């Protein structure tokens, strides 16, 4: 069945792949992008997959209203992403991510558009899942600066201070954002959940884990860690790895993320429902840097022992719900995908 879809952030790294995947699946796509400088150093492309890109900010209600004409569903990829530079970024994160989403939802309600796929993020969890040998599943406290400065990176049991074992985090885990970006992504989810009840409508929130692949923007603090490592290697510099490099993440290829969006659009279940979008094959940040350096023949990673406020230690996902309910399973194994990514083009 052909769906007329508005894709926001369609000219961005993930949005471009999603747009092309929707077109390949036979959908009719309208593309919208603000060309935000955090995602685009220059002007965004005029077309994506031969679809003209409308230049508009989601905070512009009139432009959003026009873009929704004749649309059946919205695939909402537009967002200011990453850890950012400092707290001076806070108003722009809230404006782009939360106010922009609020305007979009309000205009969707007016236009009678009742379906959305939302690009959310694993950052809404804060820390991932942990278990204590004595106390079972526990939620560690935020790591203290004094511990991080002393090189004590692993969270400990809040009840007995024992070492913890990282476990899979599923969609029912407590949500505890620990950065500005994370707080805005959780606010997006809350806004969407309220909207689905009021309309009523349908929102499928896809909690992306660490997305990588061709077309990532280079040399920007708003990009993902894989692109930051690649940018360093392209310049002949060693990738700088924070902490001890043993923090665990799930790296998922952008083509799998695009496939998850196509599957979510087809699901169309009523109400709000969140899904992890992950490879199911976790690795460490240090291993990613090492693999990229080895494949490119670049300098070995430098493990700095440094840290960033708001970073969490381990976030490893359970992809079971997406497999069971959306029929989505990642097709690209990180070992293969990261090897290919080492030679893939980045966006200037």
Q: What is the set of domains in the chain, with CATH numbers? A: 4-128+169-343 (3.40.50.720), 129-168 (no CATH)
For 111, the token pair is 């236009």
What residues of the chain score a pLDDT lower than 50? none
Residue among 125, 181, 208, 222 flagged as catalytic = 181
pLDDT score at 305: 96
Instruction: Give 133-142 contacts, CB < 8 A, sequence gap 24+.
Output: 133/162, 133/165, 134/159, 134/160, 134/162, 135/159, 135/160, 137/167, 138/164, 139/174, 139/176, 140/164, 142/178
pLDDT score at 85: 63
DSSP readout, 294-323?
HHHT-PPPEE-----TT--S---B--HHII
pLDDT score at 82: 74
pLDDT score at 156: 96
Q: Contact, 302 vs 241, CB < 8 A? A: yes
Query: Is the preceding omega at residue 348 within 30 degrees of 0, hence cis?
Result: no
181 is catalytic: yes
pLDDT tens column, 3-52: 899 999 999 999 999 999 999 999 999 999 998 877 777 778 899 999 99
The SS3 of residue 105 is helix
The whole-model pTM stands at: 0.95
Q: How many CB atoms lie within 10 A of CB 154?
A: 17
């Amino acid at each position: 069945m052909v769906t007329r879809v508005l894709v926001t952030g369609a000219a961005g790294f993930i949005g471009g792949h999603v747009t092309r995947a929707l077109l390949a699946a036979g959908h009719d796509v309208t593309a919208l992008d603000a060309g935000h400088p955090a995602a685009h150093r220059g002007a965004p492309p005029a077309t994506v997959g031969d679809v003209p890109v409308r230049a508009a900010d989601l905070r512009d209600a009139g432009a959003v209203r026009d873009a929704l004409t004749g649309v059946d569903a919205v695939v909402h990829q537009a967002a200011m992403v990453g850890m950012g530079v400092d707290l001076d970024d806070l108003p722009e994160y809230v404006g782009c991510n939360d106010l922009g989403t609020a305007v979009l939802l309000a205009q969707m309600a007016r236009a009678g558009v009742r379906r959305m796929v939302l690009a959310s993020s694993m950052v809404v969890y804060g820390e991932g899942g942990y278990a204590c040998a004595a106390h079972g599943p526990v939620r560690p406290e935020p790591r203290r600066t004094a511990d991080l400065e002393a090189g004590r990176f692993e969270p400990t049991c809040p009840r007995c201070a024992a070492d913890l074992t990282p476990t899979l985090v599923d969609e029912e885990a407590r949500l505890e954002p620990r950065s500005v970006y994370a707080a805005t992504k959780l606010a997006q989810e809350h806004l969407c959940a309220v909207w689905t009840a009021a309309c009523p409508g349908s929102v499928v929130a896809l909690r992306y884990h660490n997305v990588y692949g061709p077309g990532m923007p280079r040399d920007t603090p708003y990009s993902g860690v894989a692109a930051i490592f690649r940018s360093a290697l392209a310049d002949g510099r060693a990738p700088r790895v924070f902490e001890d490099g043993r923090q665990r993440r799930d790296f998922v290829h952008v083509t799998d993320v695009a496939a998850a969006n196509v599957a979510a659009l087809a699901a169309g279940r009523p109400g709000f429902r969140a899904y992890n979008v992950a490879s199911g094959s976790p690795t460490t940040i240090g291993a990613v840097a090492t693999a990229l350096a080895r494949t490119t023949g670049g300098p070995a990673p430098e493990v700095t022992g440094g840290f960033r406020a708001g970073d969490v230690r381990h976030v490893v996902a359970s992809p079971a719900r997406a497999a069971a309910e959306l029929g989505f399973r990642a097709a690209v194994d990180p070992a293969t995908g990261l090897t290919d990514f080492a030679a893939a083009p980045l966006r200037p």
